[in-house]
Amino acid sequence: MELKDTKVTLAGVSLPNPVIPASGTFGFGLELKDSLDLNLLGGISLKGTTLNPRYGNPTPRIAECEGGMINSVGLQNPGIDALVNDKVPALRSCFHNAVIANISGFSLDEYRECCRRADECEGIDIIEVNISCPNVHNGGMAFGTSAKSAAEVTAAVKQVCHKPVFIKLSPNVTDISEIGLACQDAGADGLTLVNTFLGMRIDIRRRSSVIAAGMGGFSGRAIFPIALRMVCQTARKCSIPIMGCGGVASAEDVIEMMMAGASAVQVGAENLRNPFVCEEIVHRLPALMDSLGIDSLTDIIGTVNR
């Protein structure tokens, strides 16, 4: 088998391969450093971080589903100070590829301040902005549910960031490609899609929701075809790079996501079922590329839309 080129680029940041554990499914990267070689990964999207520490939602927070899971963790995290002062430096002592900080907020000021701090942190390469959070100053609707508010967040964080900013989009909208285009027009360097779908399970014996918060984010293999469609539609309208995610569980899924228009691919819920899945995908990719006649992964990005 000839040597295959798995390298990809995200807004000027080079990755040895496109495989990235998604935020919230791989902690801060350190939890698995003694179990696998982290440097096999193209990058790591760190646990979602807010301005202040958060204890998250009441338990139970997880519900199993056919083909996936529902979670309502509620952004439990130690806050931006811990991220930039402790978590990233510790990760950088053993990881040399792309570090992606995932930032959440409940107001424009929170987003701006968190992203400013992340931008100043030497060990962070890309800032991924999760706009699925409720806007506390606008009735609680998520920032990502309208093109206008998504663009406002994008413009706000771009004012304080020199590093590439990727906006992570919610799929719980009518037309995700329009929101992606609004973020691009507001200065986003890239997009991540999709975040989780809103879902629910009911305990029929207790006659109440399995999740204490009532509903949560549905992810896992079952959402892959929908996520793939959304990546494809958005790639048709937008010219900035996309990190595709949603139900990715195999090297074949990675190839599909890239053919739909993704420049890199995040693996989420499958990490919780199999913590070694990203490593397995990285090892599998060259042989799969060989069987498909692919010499370089960059050659297949968006082939469906050409």
Q: Which residues are catalytic?
A: 133
Q: How big is the chain by its Cα radius of gyration, in Å? A: 18
| Separation of first and last alpha carbons in the chain | 28
Question: Which of 118, 116, 110, 107 has the alpha carbon at shortest distance from 45?
Answer: 118
C-alpha span between 202 and 209 (Å, rounded):
4
Q: What is the DSSP letter of 30?
A: G
Half-sphere exposure of 13 (CA within 13 A, CB side): 29
Q: To 10 degrees, the CA torsion angle through 289, 292, 297, 299?
A: 160
C-alpha span between 121 and 88 (Å, rounded):
8
Within 8 A by CB and 6+ apart from 300, the residues are 255, 258, 259, 294
Tell me the one-letter amino acid at 18. Answer: P
Q: Is the peptide bond before 53 cis (omega within 30 degrees of 0)?
A: no
Are 21 and 128 in contact by the 8 Å Cβ rule? The answer is no
What's the maximum distance between 2 C-alpha atoms anywhere in the chain? 58
Beta-ladder partners of 127: 101, 165
